[in-house]
Structure 1
Amino acid sequence: MNNVMGMALGGMRAAQQGVQVAAHNVANLATPDAQRLQLQRAEDGQGGVGTTVAGADPDPTAPLGDLLAARAEVVAFAANASVIRRQDQMLGSLLDRDA
């Protein structure tokens, strides 16, 4: 069961980093020579998710994509928080039953 908690926490960290990357890109729209960033995800050794921030090519449609990506990351964060909440409820029920 701890693996589920670890995976959900990893997903929350990845979502948080995704929002930060999108915010960086939107905040630097008017900054000359600002480097766009992109979040790359990969599976880590325990079934969770690992992230890497890398530079991205300039893209004229990027502001809309960044705003949509930030919204998707907020939804992903909430979904992972729901997993943690549900696991906590299940563990509480198990402990109540055994008490």
Structure 2
Amino acid sequence: MNNVMGIALSGMRVAQQGVQVAAHNVANLATPDAQRLQLKRSAVEQGGVQASVTPAGVDAAAQLGDLLAAKAEVVAFAANATVIRRQDQMLGSLLDREA
């Protein structure tokens, strides 16, 4: 069951990075020389996800995309937090049953 916790925790970390990248991009909209960033996700062998931040190309619709990405990352963070909460409840129930 610890694997479930690790997978969900990695999802929360990547979601947090996604919010930071989106915030960086939105905060630098008015800065002419600011470089847009993007988050590249990849699966981890034992389960879960990892991410790296890379430069992004110029995109005319990027402002809207960054705002939507930030909202999606918040939802992903909450979903992973729910998985951790449920896993904790299941473990508690199992321990109560064994006691």
Aligned match of 2:73: 73
Normalising by the residue count of structure 1, what TM-score does the alignment of the two structures yield? 0.98
| Structure 2 counterpart SS, 1:39 | strand
Q: 1:42 is paired with a residue of what secondary structure?
A: strand
Residues 1-99 of structure 1: pairs in structure 2 closer than 5 A: 1-99=1-99
Query: Which consecutive aligned stretches of 4+ in structure 1 deviate over 6 angstroms post-superposition?
Result: none
CA distance in 2, matches of 1:65, 1:71: 10
Q: Distance in 2 between matches of 1:72 and 1:16?
A: 11
Aligned pair count? 99
Q: What CA distance in whole angstroms lies between the structure 2 residues aligned with 1:15 and 1:70?
A: 9
Deviations 1:70-99 (A, max 9, x none): 000000000000000000000000111111
Gaps of 5+ in 2: none
RMSD: 0.5
Letter in 1 for 2:12: M
Shift of 1:55: 0.1
